[in-house]
Amino acid sequence: MCNLTRDIVSNENPPELPRQTQPAFASGSAFPKSISTNTPTQPQSDRSTLGYPEGQSKCFGLTIKQSSQMSPFFYKDLKVPIIMYRCFTFLDQETGYDKVGIFRLSSVKSEINKLEEMFNIQGDVDLIHLDPKPSLHAVTTLFKRWLRSGERILNDEDCKQLSSLIKLSDVPIKIREFNSVLKALPSENYQILKCLFIYLDKVLQYREQNKNSIESLAMLFSANVTNDPTGQHVPILTELLVNREAYFLS
């Protein structure tokens, strides 16, 4: 497993690589204070009724429960936080799943920081209609940064249980026991996790084009989905990706 780190951009404090193929926001450039909502495909968030914590960020660093309860959005019939919905619908619009380096490459740090600031201030940012349009890699890096900003989808106790099941040699029994742990997660956590793996399944369907693999995605998301700065939970993510049909797609 240690050989993977030579091929994969680290997801814990990832380097911010310059974006060559798409224009980056110039230093000091201003984002619009209001977002165009021309022909939206989903209802816009009513910020007056979302109940954001007073004097607190409206996006990053919230609990999973807060993020989910304040969202009016569904992705693939799953209730997900606003930023997850906005990032994934943007990726769908840009057919991001087949782009080389999706989730592995980053973008200009100032661009990502500005997007984070907008979500923290406004709560909801329609990325599809944002002018100028953000780069695809800025949006994927923003999403990973959000995953790491608060409590993890799988906490230490969840990972302890799942790690103990990795050693099971009987695959049907392992899948059954893994599913028991997953279904015992809080509803908000499970829906976010399922939504993520539905999208990663699409990424893996286009692995020849985007140059990703189960191993690279497991390494990338281990530090985002779990509290895993050392890579010890990579086998959990690998198992979830290998048998994603049984866990999330069936």
Tens digits of per-residue pLDDT, 184-193?
999 999 999 9
Enter the pTM of the model.
0.77
3-state secondary structure the chain: CHHHHHCCCCCCCCCCCCCCCCCCCCCCCCCCCCCCCCCCCCCCCCCCCCCCCCCCCCCCCCCHHHHHHCCCCEECCEECCHHHHHHHHHHHHCCHHHCCCCCCCCCCHHHHHHHHHHHHHHCCCCHHHCCCCCCHHHHHHHHHHHHHHCCCCCCHHHHHHHHHHHCCCCHHHHHHHHHHHHHCCCHHHHHHHHHHHHHHHHHHHCHHHHCCCHHHHHHHHHHHHCCCCCCCCHHHHHHHHHCHHHHHHC
Percent above pLDDT 70 for the chain: 78
CA distance 237 to 239: 5
pLDDT band with cut points at 50, 70 and 90 for residue 54: low
How much is the mean pLDDT over the chain?
83
CA distance 40 to 63: 27
pLDDT at 42: 36
Q: Is residue 22 within 8 Å of residue 28, measured between CB atoms?
A: no
Question: Can you list the domains of the chain with their CATH numbers?
Answer: 2-24+61-249 (1.10.555.10)
- β-partners of residue 74 are 79
**Higher pLDDT, residue 200 or 20:** 200
pLDDT at 39: 33
pLDDT at 47: 40
How many other CB atoms sit within 10 Å of the CB of residue 222? 25
- β-partners of residue 197 are none
CA distance 199 to 197: 5
Q: Is residue 149 within 8 Å of residue 64, measured between CB atoms?
A: no
Tens digits of per-residue pLDDT, 14-48?
444 444 333 333 333 333 333 333 333 334 444 43
pLDDT band with cut points at 50, 70 and 90 for residue 250: confident
How many other CB atoms sit within 10 Å of the CB of residue 137? 25
- β-partners of residue 79 are 74
Percent above pLDDT 90 for the chain: 72
